[in-house]
């Protein structure tokens, strides 16, 4: 093995101090143990970037594996003579298991492959969800892909103008609020749309995210073009005995989440009733009983979050389907907007898939180059998207408030007499 070259990194080394786990410590201790030049060179280039206050990666990079159009993010150093081990430093996205449950045997095996063929550095996980292998050279891409698929039974994640790797919250695996099996749905959608994930065919990227309840632990409403958020349509289940235990102080509000500060004894009126956004709750002090007018409840989760042992979501469950979230570029940031207020979701999820495929058909045909779904909806209008494209009925739940301006489009067939008018006819009644 060639001699290892270590660089002086005084600024980077500063980040070894302090209580938080230090990525610098981690990378150096791994690099020393495995004698990885790529790690030392990466730290060297990072030091240079700290000094210059600019990146030292070149623009773009197009690499990949045969058969796929995405999954690998190509990267090259612009200081290749000084840092030859990161001349090429490609990132591989590996599709993670739903909610990121692992067995150590799988992670050990993956690490063995990565120790051997890559830099040894990982990102667990990328914000979209993938397990990210950080830094390898072009020649290793096909061998790594071979090992992943043949030894690990794992596949690449998505990148490019395609369906990106779907992700979900922990769901029913260990949360009493989950209104749907987020993991099963995430896995099903991932497997159903493998082609769309591996071979870019869209105008731009498209993301699915699935949360089991409106707490939205995977931030579906903010980070997915198609956000699936669990909810229910029957009544909140109340255990009055447990409510009294909260009021009496035997149970800690919010499962003790605020225990680090003295907020005084639990006050159900102040902390639950008065904070309910629709004011649909009532605590009867004499009866010692909690009432909820479920018809007015918007299922915001607050009361359930405060008294998890007393209140539970209903049993008639499904999800709200929202669409269009995106980051600011180009037309400004968007959160997803409600498209279907309530959809029951059971395998094989045909109702959801029909909606997805209708959306894709239209967006693929009408989306401009690099136009996210949210921008397409803005461009053509929510009404046209919901009614003409998806064939759904417009309902009040589709808007937060009605429009304030009077620039209302009508379809010609909705207006008696249509658009073809003769000005001469008009002049007969109104001479100029």
CB of 77 to other proteins, least distance (A): 10
Nearest residue (CB) to other proteins, 162 versus 305: 162
Q: With beta carbons less than 8 A apart as the criterion, state whether 398 and 382 touch.
A: yes
CB of 187 to other proteins, least distance (A): 24
CB of 63 to other proteins, least distance (A): 6
Nearest by Cα to 216 from 277, 160, 299, 286: 299
Length of the chain: 432
Cα separation of the two ends of the chain: 95
Rounded to 5, what percent of the chain is helix, strand, coil? 40, 15, 50
Half-sphere exposure (Cβ direction) of 73: Cα atoms closer than 13 Å:
18
CB of 119 to other proteins, least distance (A): 17
CB of 303 to other proteins, least distance (A): 41
CB of 83 to other proteins, least distance (A): 14
CB of 89 to other proteins, least distance (A): 11
Question: For 332, left (φ over 0), alpha (ψ -120 to 50), or beta?
Answer: left
Please name the residue that has the structure tokens 């009733």: 273
Nearest residue (CB) to other proteins, 172 versus 223: 223
Distance CA 376, CA 363 (A): 7
Distance CA 242, CA 127 (A): 38
Nearest residue (CB) to other proteins, 199 versus 244: 199
CB of 79 to other proteins, least distance (A): 14
Distance CA 429, CA 432 (A): 10
Q: Which helix (H) or strand (E) holds 210?
A: strand 208-211
Nearest residue (CB) to other proteins, 87 versus 187: 87
CB of 223 to other proteins, least distance (A): 14
Nearest residue (CB) to other proteins, 61 versus 97: 61
Distance CA 195, CA 189 (A): 11
Judged by the rule CB under 8 A, the positions of this chain that interact with other proteins are: 58-64, 66-70, 73-74, 76, 88, 159-161, 195, 199-203, 205, 364-365, 369-370
Q: With beta carbons less than 8 A apart as the criterion, state whether 42 and 89 touch.
A: yes
Nearest residue (CB) to other proteins, 128 versus 231: 128
Nearest by Cα to 163 from 75, 97, 226: 226
From residue 238, alpha-carbon distances to 226, 310, 313 in Å are 32, 6, 9
Tell how strand 289-292 and strand 281-284 pair up.
Answer: antiparallel
Nearest residue (CB) to other proteins, 80 versus 294: 80
CB of 88 to other proteins, least distance (A): 7
Distance CA 32, CA 209 (A): 39
Distance CA 82, CA 42 (A): 11
CB of 159 to other proteins, least distance (A): 6
Burial of 389 (0-12, 13-18, 19+ CB in 10 A): middle
Nearest residue (CB) to other proteins, 26 versus 195: 195
Nearest residue (CB) to other proteins, 62 versus 432: 62
Nearest residue (CB) to other proteins, 142 versus 354: 142
Nearest residue (CB) to other proteins, 149 versus 298: 149
From residue 56, alpha-carbon distances to 48, 59, 329, 411 in Å are 8, 9, 24, 55
Distance CA 414, CA 125 (A): 52
């Amino acid at each position: 093995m060639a001699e290892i070259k270590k660089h002086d990194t005084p600024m980077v080394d500063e980040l070894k101090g302090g209580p938080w786990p230090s990525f610098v410590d981690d990378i150096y201790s791994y690099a020393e143990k495995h004698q990885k030049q790529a790690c030392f060179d990466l730290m060297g280039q990072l030091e240079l970037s700290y000094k210059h206050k600019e990146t030292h990666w070149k623009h773009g990079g197009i690499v990949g594996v045969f058969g796929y159009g995405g999954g690998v993010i190509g990267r090259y150093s612009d200081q290749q003579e000084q840092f030859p081990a990161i001349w090429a430093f490609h990132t591989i996205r590996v599709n993670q298991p739903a909610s990121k449950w692992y067995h150590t045997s799988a992670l050990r095996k993956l690490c063995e492959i990565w120790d051997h063929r890559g830099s040894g550095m990982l990102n667990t996980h990328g914000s979209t969800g993938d397990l990210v292998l950080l830094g390898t050279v072009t020649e290793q891409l096909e061998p790594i892909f071979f090992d992943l698929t043949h030894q690990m039974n794992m596949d690449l994640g998505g990148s490019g103008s395609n369906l990106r790797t779907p992700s979900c919250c922990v769901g029913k695996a260990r949360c009493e609020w989950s209104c749907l099996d987020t993991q099963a749905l995430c896995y099903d959608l991932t497997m159903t749309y493998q082609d769309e994930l591996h071979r870019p065919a869209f105008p731009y990227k498209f993301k699915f995210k699935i949360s089991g309840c409106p707490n939205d632990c995977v931030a579906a409403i903010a980070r997915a073009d198609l956000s699936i958020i669990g909810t229910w349509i029957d009544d909140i289940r109340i255990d009055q005995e447990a409510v009294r235990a909260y009021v009496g102080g035997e149970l800690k509000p919010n499962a003790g989440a605020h225990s680090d500060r003295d907020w005084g004894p639990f006050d159900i009126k102040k902390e639950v009733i008065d904070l309910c956004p629709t004011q649909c709750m009532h605590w009867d002090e004499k009866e010692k009983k909690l009432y909820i007018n479920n018809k007015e409840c918007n299922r915001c989760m607050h009361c359930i979050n405060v008294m998890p042992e007393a209140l539970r979501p209903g049993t008639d469950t499904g999800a709200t389907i929202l669409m269009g979230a995106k980051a600011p570029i180009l037309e400004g940031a968007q959160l997803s907007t409600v498209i279907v207020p309530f959809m029951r979701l059971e395998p094989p999820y045909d109702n959801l898939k029909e909606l997805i495929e209708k959306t894709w058909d239209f967006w693929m045909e009408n989306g401009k180059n690099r136009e996210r779904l949210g921008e397409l909806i803005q461009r053509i209008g929510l009404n046209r998207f919901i009614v003409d494209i998806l064939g759904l009925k417009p309902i009040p739940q589709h808007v937060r408030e009605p429009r304030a301006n009077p620039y209302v489009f009508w379809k010609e067939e909705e207006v008696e007499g249509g658009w073809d008018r003769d000005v001469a006819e008009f002049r007969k009644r109104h001479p100029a």
